[in-house]
Structure 1
Amino acid sequence: MKQGHPGPGIAVRKAVVDVLVLAGFADDKSIRTLMVSELREALDHPFTFSDQLAGRDQLIEIVSACCRLSEGPDVLADVIEFLRPDSEESAEVRALVSSVRIHDVVPEAEQEKLRERLAGFSPPGLGRAVRRAARYVSPPPRYDDAAAAFSGLADFNAGPGELPPLLIFVESIAAECDDDFAAELRTWSDGQARRLRLGDALRQLRTELAAVRPRPGELHLLIAVRPDPIENDLYELSCWRQDDPDDWPPARGEIALVRESELEDHVDALIADAEQAWSEAAADVVIEFVLPRALLNLPVHSWATERASGAPKPLYLSYQTVVRSLERMTSPRWHRVWRQRWESWVGNPSFERVYFCRSGDDGDRLQLEAILSDEQWAMAVLTESPPVSAISGQDELLPALRTGVPVIVWHPTASSEVVREVVAWLAESGSGLGDLPALVRESRLDVLRNPPSSGDGGTLTDLVVLWDDPSRLLPIGETGVAGHPEGGAGRRDRAS
């Protein structure tokens, strides 16, 4: 086994250790012993460690020893996969160590030239660019200037098919440079993308960076609920809290395994924590629930907050609330048409873009999908609440998701005729359908303020708005419509 290999930088090694700590390796001596035994056999290396070390310290020694060996990082990922097959931690470790480092493909002289140009450059978005580039590391590293970030991020790995973090950083700060320097940085990025054959990934990144950001002063709290792949009525609950309107994606918060009956209580606690973090902010907040199909009909907008006060209040009293599709977010094969349709909707969110589903649309299982494939339609109103699972020829939700329709609305009890009247009334009110989540919230408040004057007779209170903005994706992983999320067993092992 060759030694003296420079290996991943300290930031990547720290990230690997953090993943293993979160997975319970620091607390379980037996799993560390088994890991070391497998590493010794695979790498023909003694791997001697002091039993006096704390669990995390021992993991640091194990990971660092692996990283000093040429094949060590890949073998470490293999061993974690062997110990915890198909788990989230094995996927995260693989992503951190699997790809070639940027140092191996970019000549050092070329890096030094660009590093000199970046010396002393500290644009306002430096921290945001580092967070975007160091997406697997939490908390993200801090650097004094762009040159220091350039040097540090060169040691970070990327997953298979992903752009190196260094390239992502350079692209992110190019937007804050003068035109000549920005052109120089982008020319450098083009060259690296050609070396790595990642031209498509670079074009996608540039599209994301150019996407319209949330309006100033607006923060988002995304709460994702994923079904456990084995145990019914068990869900993985996690959140991404945005503390900076220009920062996306923010770091992922803690993960909890909860029953469906416990979701409302946990969401209340997440919002309380978020409000504490936002106590010095002056910003509007949007709460987005990323839900699996089976839970899309949960009345999350009316879930209670401040329950411990003895006088709880519904979410919509304080926040814009929308739902989003977990299946679509975790199905990259649907993302291209979704992005296209969203961009056209942002440019023209008119009532003429709304398709109202009809009972006859399901006569043929592909009829509705063919209808919604017309780029005219960017919002769909379902005739009824979607069933918990797709039924061939009797489903309105799946065709809307697959054709990229970003805004989908339905009501759990009202007739389609009533919902049509409500949508038409909303389109004529205030800023119209382009700001539907805010408009729905304001209309719900109007129902409380003055019920007799409400234009919808109270129907708006329970209207469900699926508002799916593809510029706010989360690193949840790929599941597909019928699949289950990875990592359920691993998470349960950690909770037990």
Structure 2
Amino acid sequence: MSARQGRPPIGIAVRRKLVDVLVVAGFADDKSIRTLMVSELRRALDNPFTVPDQLAPRAQLIEIVNSCSGIDDGLPALADVLEFLRPGTKECAQFRTLVDSLPLRDVVSEAEQERFRSRLEGFAPPGLRAAVRRAARHVVPVPQYTDAADAFAGLADFNAAPGELPPVVAFAELIAAECDDELAAQLRKWSEGQAHRLRLDKALRELRAHVTPSASGRLHLTIMISPDPVEEDRYEISHWRQDDPAEWPPPRGETVVTTAPELELQVAKVISAAEEAWSETDAEVVLEFVLPRVLLGLPVHSWSTERDFGEPQPLYLTYPTVIRSLERMSSRRSHRVWRRRWASWSREPSFERVYFCDRCDTEDRHRLDAILSDERWLMTVLTESPPPTPVSDRDEFFAALRAGLPVIVWHPTVSSETVREMVTWLADTGDLGNLPALTRKHRIDALRNRSSSAEGGIVGDLVVLWDDPDRMLPLGDGGTGPVGEGGADERDRAS
């Protein structure tokens, strides 16, 4: 969308809605409160505007809204004053929502547009397209701009989702990484000011934490499958498709509700759509399945792709495929220890940090908890597949999650002794720090020549839980429950 000259007028329908909210909030009933409102607005805006006393109450409110509409930051200031005078009311939230929905040309004054336009004109660095895509993450199709000046002006026309930075502010922050030091400092100072004015300082900090591009250039497609909370025997499939290695979390895709027999087909459709979106990139892709405990038995790594060319093939032929724990991701109380272990694993993913569970570990209560509390252990191999529901005081999987171990491995059919031998063999043949890719490699090797495969083809069904806490999904506080045996933890909900 091309830039428009000047501030777009605020239509009469929006202004009427703003006035209606003020009337419902009681400002038409009391002249003294209207007088106080005008006084607070003068102070907030440093503007000596007046409202004629002879006007009727509603007419005075119309005059106040119209006056604020013509002043830079006028309506946001009016929203602040309303919250000051009627704190916590429904009308405050309604008024703020209306103000936030207005065209964002008001975010960028004409003087600022011209100042940055002159500096950014003709500037089209390699990261321009990615910066626009990240800034306009909810805009479909993604707008195309010839240079950074065109993008800065065009993105000012788009609104943001609640709690997110306006696209033009996010773009200023992102494109600063491509600019010289002086211009970068100016852009960051401006974005800081806008974020503070819009009370989005936290959103800006989160964006800055993910500005540095990923060194690997790896993309992730994260697919979450969970039982439908209302209908039995139905499942919800959600996904987050990463189009830029530097962006996390990416926007959440459409949620699909399906039945158990259709799960594989619906997942294949999600993957096919992602591949179409990635058609112009050569990046490596990792598939992640976020699963609740009750669905850990799904053989997602061997599910098939869509039948685009001949017969379908298992996912692991194309992608490193891992699972992640929905319960752990949803439970904030478990994240500190999880982050500590992941940081250690990232530095030293060695075989010496792998603990092989033994059946005697669960004979005494908390014995395995005590063993895994040693921060030496960063990966564990279970003696069997986790049962769909926790086993009180005898649960290897629960103990591993509670201890924060980010890598958990098991096999659904063979003995624990065989799994130990297989993991030992894997460690001898490659880097455990890249276990998903290593597992895929040996699955393919086994298919090439099963008779000569050193591990006898058993690796084909090895389950790898690979949980990176730096790539959380926005599931909300409390999520679907904690890492534990019963319901959501009340302290998590309260936080």
State the TM bucket, normalised to the shorter chain.
Answer: 0.5 to 0.7
Instruction: Please state how far the C-alpha of 1:289 moved relative to its aligned partner.
Output: 1.7
- How many residues are paired up? 405
Structure 1's unaligned 5+ residue stretches are 14-37, 46-67, 75-93, 484-496
Q: Which residue of 1 aligns with 2:425?
A: 425
CA 350–234 in structure 1, closer or farther in 2 if over 3 Å, else same: same
Distance in 1 (CA, whole Å) between partners of 2:436 and 2:10 is 48
Q: Is the counterpart of residue 324 in structure 1 residue 324 in structure 2?
A: yes
| Deviation readout 1:169-204 (Å, 9 max, x if unpaired) | 333223222344334444444555566676665444
| Deviation readout 1:424-462 (Å, 9 max, x if unpaired) | 2212213x1121111101111222222343232332111
Instruction: Please state how far the C-alpha of 1:115 moved relative to its aligned partner.
Output: 5.3
Alpha carbons 1:208, 1:471 under 8 Å: kept:
no
Q: Which residue of 2 aligns with 1:159?
A: 162
CA 387–109 in structure 1, closer or farther in 2 if over 3 Å, else same: farther
Alpha carbons 2:228, 2:234 under 8 Å: kept:
yes
Q: Which residue of 1 aligns with 2:462?
A: 463
Distance in 1 (CA, whole Å) between partners of 2:266 and 2:347 is 37
SS of the equivalent of 2:209 reads helix
| Aligned partner letter, 2:344 | S
| Deviation readout 1:340-386 (Å, 9 max, x if unpaired) | 54343233222223233344554677665565455443323223212
Distance in 2 (CA, whole Å) between partners of 1:222 and 1:288 is 5
Alpha carbons 2:305, 2:315 under 8 Å: kept:
yes
Alpha carbons 2:210, 2:248 under 8 Å: kept:
no
SS of the equivalent of 1:435 reads helix
Q: Which residue of 2 aligns with 1:209?
A: 211
| Deviation readout 1:280-336 (Å, 9 max, x if unpaired) | 654543222222222122111112335587744322233321112233444455555
Distance in 1 (CA, whole Å) between partners of 2:358 and 2:398 is 15
Q: Tell me the TM-score normalized by structure 2.
A: 0.66
Q: Which residue of 2 aligns with 1:51?
A: none
Alpha carbons 2:290, 2:326 under 8 Å: kept:
yes
| Aligned partner letter, 1:313 | Q
Q: Which residue of 2 aligns with 1:270?
A: 270
Structural mapping, 1:382-421, within 5 Å: 382-421=382-421
| Deviation readout 1:65-124 (Å, 9 max, x if unpaired) | xxx9x79xx9xxxxxxxxxxxxxxxxxxx9998799988888876676455533433322
Instruction: Please state how far the C-alpha of 1:261 moved relative to its aligned partner.
Output: 1.8
CA 393–288 in structure 1, closer or farther in 2 if over 3 Å, else same: same
Distance in 1 (CA, whole Å) between partners of 2:224 and 2:261 is 16
Q: Which residue of 1 aligns with 2:183?
A: 181
| Aligned partner letter, 2:184 | A
Structural mapping, 1:123-142, within 5 Å: 123-142=125-144
| Deviation readout 1:29-75 (Å, 9 max, x if unpaired) | xxxxxxxxx99997989xxxxxxxxxxxxxxxxxxxxxx9x79xx9x
Q: Which residue of 1 aligns with 2:120?
A: 118
Distance in 2 (CA, whole Å) between partners of 1:473 and 1:120 is 37
Structural mapping, 1:54-453, within 5 Å: 113-114=115-116, 116-154=118-156, 156-157=159-160, 159-160=162-163, 163=165, 165-191=167-193, 201-210=203-212, 212-213=214-215, 215-216=216-217, 218-242=218-242, 249-250=249-250, 252-276=252-276, 278=278, 281-306=281-306, 311-332=311-332, 334-335=334-335, 337-362=337-362, 368=368, 371-372=371-372, 374-430=374-430, 432-453=431-452
Alpha carbons 1:131, 1:140 under 8 Å: kept:
yes
Between the two structures, name the one with larger relative contact order (CA 8 Å, sep ≥ 6). 1
Distance in 1 (CA, whole Å) between partners of 2:340 and 2:10 is 41
**RMSD (Å) for aligned C-alpha atoms:** 4.4
CA 135–425 in structure 1, closer or farther in 2 if over 3 Å, else same: same
| Aligned partner letter, 1:414 | V
Alpha carbons 2:323, 2:466 under 8 Å: kept:
yes
SS of the equivalent of 2:321 reads strand
Distance in 2 (CA, whole Å) between partners of 1:360 and 1:100 is 64
Alpha carbons 2:211, 2:246 under 8 Å: kept:
no
Distance in 2 (CA, whole Å) between partners of 1:457 and 1:299 is 19
Alpha carbons 1:134, 1:156 under 8 Å: kept:
no
CA 107–269 in structure 1, closer or farther in 2 if over 3 Å, else same: closer
Alpha carbons 1:380, 1:405 under 8 Å: kept:
yes
Alpha carbons 2:329, 2:472 under 8 Å: kept:
yes
Alpha carbons 1:100, 1:157 under 8 Å: kept:
no
